[in-house]
Chains A and B, each alone.
Chain A
Amino acid sequence: MFDNFSTGVAMIGSPFVRVEGLHFSRGEKDIFRGVDLQVPLGRITAIMGPSGTGKTTLLKLIGGQLVPDAGRVVIDDQDVHALSRRTLFRLRRRMGMLFQSGALFSDLSVFENVAFPLRVHTDLPETMIRDLALMKLQAVGLRGARGLMPAELSGGMARRVALARAIALDPELVLYDEPFVGQDPISKGVLVQLIKRLNEALGLTSIVVSHDIQETLSIADYVYVIADGQVMAHGTPDSLDSHEDPRVSQFIHGEPDGPVPFHYPAGDFFDDILSLEARP
C-alpha cells in the first residue's frame, strides 16, 4: 500500500543516496563541476555552503526535478534520471521534502494539507486518515492548529505543518531545504529538535541543506561543504571545526573576509568614484 520498503536488506550507515560525478549548468554558468557525495542510511547528512552555491539546485537534482548535464543520482540503487515519469513519481512517494517557503497548498486547511498525501496515495478510510494526520500534527505540536488556513500561520508554524506533511506517508528519505532560514530563535530550536527527534524515532535518512552553521552542525552526523561547484570538504562536524583549508575555516567560523572575498569582483574603487561617467 505505502510502497516504501527498501528493495534490499540495507544496513544503517550503508549508502542510501549516491551522487556521482554530477555536472550541471544554467546557461553559461557552471553550477556543479563534478560533485560526488554519499548519504548513509538512517543518518542526517548536511550539505552546507555559502549562498548561491547551488545547494537547493542539488536537492532538486536529487529529487529528479532537474536533469544533470552529466553524472548520476542513485537512490536505493535506482538511477533517478533514468526512471520513467511514472516510476519517478512512485519513487518520490518514498521521499518527503521540506521546502524553504513551506509550499503549503494555500486553498487547503492545515489538516487537509497534511492529509493530502494520504488521500492521494492510499485507500484508507476517512477515520484512519484523520487519525494519521492528527498524529503527524501532534508530532510537530500543531494539532490544535488543524483548522487554520496557511495564510493564518506564522513562518515557523507553516514550516512545521510542511514538515508534518513531508512525513505523512512515513518516507524513507527526507530532504530539508534551508529549514532554519528566517526563523526566530525559538522556532529554530523547535525545528532542530524536531528534525533530530523525527530522524531517530522514524529511522529516516535525512539530507539537510543549510548555511546555518550552529544549528546544522548540532544535528548532522556527516557534513559536505560545497563551493565553486565542487565538494570543498567533508567529514564529521568535529573534524570540520578544525579543518585546515582556510576557505572551510572561514565558512565554518563565519569570518566576513578571507579566501572568499567580501567584495564582488570590481575595478579600482578610486578610479570608479573619480570617473566622470554618468552611467552606474
Chain B
Amino acid sequence: MMEHLRGLGRRSCDVLEALGRSGLFLGQSMLGIPSREGWSLWLSQMHFVGVLSLAIVLVSGLFIGMVLALQGYTILVDFGAEQALGQMVALSLLRELSPVVAALLFAGRAGSALTAEIGLMKATEQLTSMEMIGVDPLRRVVAPRLWAGFVALPLLTVGFSVVGIYGGYLVGVEWLGVFEGSYWSNMQASVGFIEDIGNGLVKSLVFALVVTWIAVFQGYDLVPTSEGISRATTRTVVYSSLAVLGLDFVLTALMFGGFS
C-alpha cells in the first residue's frame, strides 16, 4: 500500500517537474531577439515544417471537403435544403475540421520529424558541442523550429479550408448539381469573419503552439538512445493529438458555447 502511494507521489512529482521544465524551456526558447542569422534559420525551418507539409495537408483538405459535401448533400436533400450545402461545408471546415485535422496531420508529419531530428542531435552530442562552443541550442536549434511551427500551421489551416471548400464545390455543384449561386451566396451570407474565420484561426494558433512545443520539448528532453528517440517520437504524436482534441473542446465551448 505504502509502496503504491510512494510510486504515485513519485510519478506526480515527475509530471510536475516535467511541466515546469517544459514551461521554462518554452520561455527561454521564445524570448530573445532573433539575429539576422536567426531569420535565415527560421526560413529554412518554414520550408521544412511548412512547405513540405503542404502536399499532405492540401490533399487531405480536398478529400475532406468532398466527403463533407457528399454526406451533407444526402442529408440536406431529404429536407429540400441542399442549397445550404455551401454554408454547411464552409462552417464545418472553418470552425472545426480545418484547425483540428490540419493540426493532427501537422503533428504526424512535422511534429514527429522535429522530435526525431532534435533527438538525434542530442544523441550524437551535437547539442552539447554547440553549448561548449558557446552557442545556446535553445536559441539556435529550438527557437527557429518553434516559431516556424507557430507560423506555418495557421497558414496550412487556411490552405486546408480553401481547398476543402473547393472540394465541396466540385462534388456539390459540379457532380451532384447543387445550384452554384446558392452554394456561394449562402456561404457568403452565413460565414462571419470574426466568429467563424477568426475563431478558427485562433484555434489553429493555439494548436500550433501546443503541437510544436510538445514536439521540440520531447526531442530536447528525451533519453539519448535509439529506444528513447522512438518513444519520444510516439509521445509527440500521442500527446499532440490528445492535446489538440481536448483543447478543441475547451475552445469550442468558450467560443460557441454561449458562455460569454
* A interface with B by C-beta (< 8 Å): 60, 63, 65, 85, 89-90, 92-93, 95-97, 99-101, 103-106, 116-117, 119-121, 162, 165, 175
Contacts and interface: CB of A to CB of B under 8 A. Distances in A.
B134 interface: yes
Given A65-B131, A92-B131, A101 B125 contact: yes
A121 B136 CA distance: 12
Interface in B91-142: 121, 124-126, 128-136, 140
B133 A116 contact: yes
B134 A93 contact: yes
A85 B31 CA distance: 14
A103 B128 contact: yes
Residue with the highest number of chain A CB atoms closer than 10 Å, among B37, B121, B133, B134 = B133
Given A89-B134, A101-B125, 19 more contacts: A65-B132, A89-B131, A89-B135, A89-B136, A92-B132, A92-B134, A93-B133, A96-B132, A99-B125, A99-B128, A103-B125, A103-B126, A103-B129, A105-B130, A106-B121, A117-B134, A119-B37, A120-B135, A120-B140
Contacts of A165: 133
> What 9 A-B pairs have minimum CB-CB distances, sorted nearest first?
A103-B129, A103-B125, A93-B134, A92-B134, A97-B132, A89-B134, A117-B133, A99-B125, A120-B135
Interface centre among B128, B129, B132, B135 (most CB of A within 10 A): B132
Nearest to B140: A120
Interface string B135-163: 11000100000000000000000000000
17 contacts: A60-B128, A63-B131, A65-B132, A89-B136, A90-B134, A93-B134, A97-B129, A99-B128, A101-B125, A103-B125, A103-B129, A105-B130, A106-B124, A117-B134, A120-B134, A120-B135, A120-B140
Contacts of A120: 37, 133-135, 140
Contacts of A95: 132
Contacts of B125: 99-101, 103
Contact of B129 (A90, A99, A121): A99
Nearest to B28: A85
A57 to B, nearest CB: 13
Contacts of A101: 124-125
Contacts of B136: 85, 89
A265 to B, nearest CB: 26
A56 B183 CA distance: 68
A92 B133 contact: yes
B134 A63 contact: no
A106 B124 CA distance: 9
A124 to B, nearest CB: 14
Contacts of B140: 120
A90 B132 CA distance: 10
A23 B238 CA distance: 39
A81 to B, nearest CB: 15
A85 B28 CA distance: 11
Contacts of A106: 121, 124, 126
B124 A103 contact: yes
A108 B233 CA distance: 24
B193 to A, nearest CB: 42
Contact of B134 (A60, A100, A121): A121
Among B121, B126, B131, the most chain A Cβ lie within 10 Å of the Cβ of: B126
A63 B52 CA distance: 38
Nearest to A94: B134
B143 to A, nearest CB: 14
Residue in A65, A97, A103 with the greatest tally of chain B CB atoms within 10 Å: A103
Contacts of B131: 63, 65, 89, 92
Contacts of A89: 131, 134-136
Contacts of A92: 131-134
Contacts of A103: 124-126, 128-129
A112 B140 CA distance: 16
A104 B127 CA distance: 10
Contacts of B133: 92-93, 116-117, 120, 165
A105 B132 CA distance: 13
A99 B128 CA distance: 9
A65 B126 contact: no
Contacts of B134: 89-90, 92-93, 117, 120-121
A119 B121 CA distance: 20
A104 B126 CA distance: 6
A92 B136 CA distance: 11
B14 to A, nearest CB: 13
Contacts of B132: 63, 65, 92, 95-97, 175
Nearest to A116: B133
Contacts of A104: 126, 129
Contacts of B124: 101, 103, 106
